[in-house]
């Protein structure tokens, strides 16, 4: 089963924000605390704090960035 195209921007923002927040929150926790037994819990806490901010932000910003990129690049032949 595929998701209807009209939800493409929502799906894009959801997937990209999950990937980005997972990487960034993990990196920040490792840089600040190192690889400790508490790291997974702190990583999840960071993720749960950042994702509700990142997802709607990306959902709003991504279409505008796509339009800007389209204006700044030449179409492919």
Q: What is the pLDDT along the chain (77 residues), one digit of tens a residue?
A: 899 999 999 999 999 999 999 999 999 999 999 999 999 999 999 999 999 999 999 999 999 999 999 999 998 87
> Do the domain assignments include residue 58?
yes
Q: What is the pLDDT of residue 77?
A: 78
Number of domains in the chain: 1
| Alpha-carbon torsion (53, 59, 62, 63), positive or negative | negative
Question: How deeply is 77 buried, as exposed, middle or buried, from its count of CB atoms within 10 A (0-12, 13-18, 19+)?
Answer: exposed
Write down the pLDDT at residue 75: 85
Q: Is residue 8 included in any domain, yes or no? A: no
Could you tell me if residue 61 is inside a domain?
yes
Q: Is the dihedral of CA 56, 62, 64, 65 positive or negative?
A: positive
pLDDT at 64: 94
Q: What is the pLDDT of residue 52?
A: 96
Residue 39: count other Cβ atoms within 10 Å of its Cβ: 14
Answer yes or no: is 52 within a domain: yes
Which residue range forms the structural domain that includes residue 55? 20-69
């Amino acid at each position: 089963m595929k998701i209807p195209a009209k939800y493409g921007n929502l799906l894009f923002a959801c997937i990209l924000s999950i990937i980005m927040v997972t990487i960034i929150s993990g990196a920040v926790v490792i840089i600040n605390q190192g690889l400790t037994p508490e790291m997974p819990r702190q990583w999840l806490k960071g993720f749960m704090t950042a994702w509700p901010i990142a997802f709607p932000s990306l959902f709003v910003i991504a279409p505008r960035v796509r339009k800007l990129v389209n204006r700044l690049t030449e179409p492919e032949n």
